[in-house]
Amino acid sequence: MSNVIHHTDSITVKAATAKLSAIRNFISNALQQIKLDPEERNGIVLAVDEACTNLIVHGYSLDSTKDIVVDFVADMENIYVTISDSSAAFDPAQADSPDMTAYFQHPRRGGLGILLMNKVMDEVRYLRATAPGTKNQLILCKHRVH
C-alpha cells in the first residue's frame, strides 16, 4: 500500500484559550478532506482540543506570548496531528491515570484529557526537545480503516 500524502497543513497560534476554536476549526476543516465517520472526526477534534488546552493551561501557564504549532498530515494509512511547543517537558505517558471512582464521587472539571486522548487516538507519542531551538512534540495518530 502506498503511503502517499493526501493532505498536509499547519497552523500556528498564540497559547491562549481564545485560540482553541481556531485549532478546532483547523482540524475539523482538515478532516473534511478525509473519509471518516462523524464520531471519529469529532473524537480527533476533541483529542487535539484537550491536548492544546492542557498545553495552554499547564505547559504555558496561560502565557499567551508563547506559540503552539499544530501540523496535520494524512496519508492512506494514518492521520497524524503533531502539536509542537517550547514549554517544560511533560510526557503524558508518564502521568498517573485518574481514579475514576474518586472522580465520580467528587466531580470536578478537567483531569480526563490524557485519558480521552488515549481512548480516541490509536497512538499518542511524546518527543521531548533535545537541543536548544527545538520543540517538544506530541504526536496523535489515528489509523485509517480501509
| Residue spans per domain, the chain | 5-143
pLDDT at 14: 97
Cell numbers standing for residue 59: 505547559
Per residue in 39-79, pLDDT tens?
A: 999 999 999 999 999 999 989 999 999 999 999 999 989 99
- What are 97-127's pLDDT values in tens digits? 545 455 445 555 555 567 788 899 999 999 8
Closest CA to 13 of 87, 88, 64: 64
**What is the residue type of 43?**
G
Phi/psi for 127 (5° steps) reads -120, 115
What fold, for 5-143? Heat Shock Protein 90 (3.30.565)
pLDDT given for residue 86 in this prediction: 93
The answer for 111, left when phi > 0, alpha when psi is -120 to 50, beta otherwise, is left
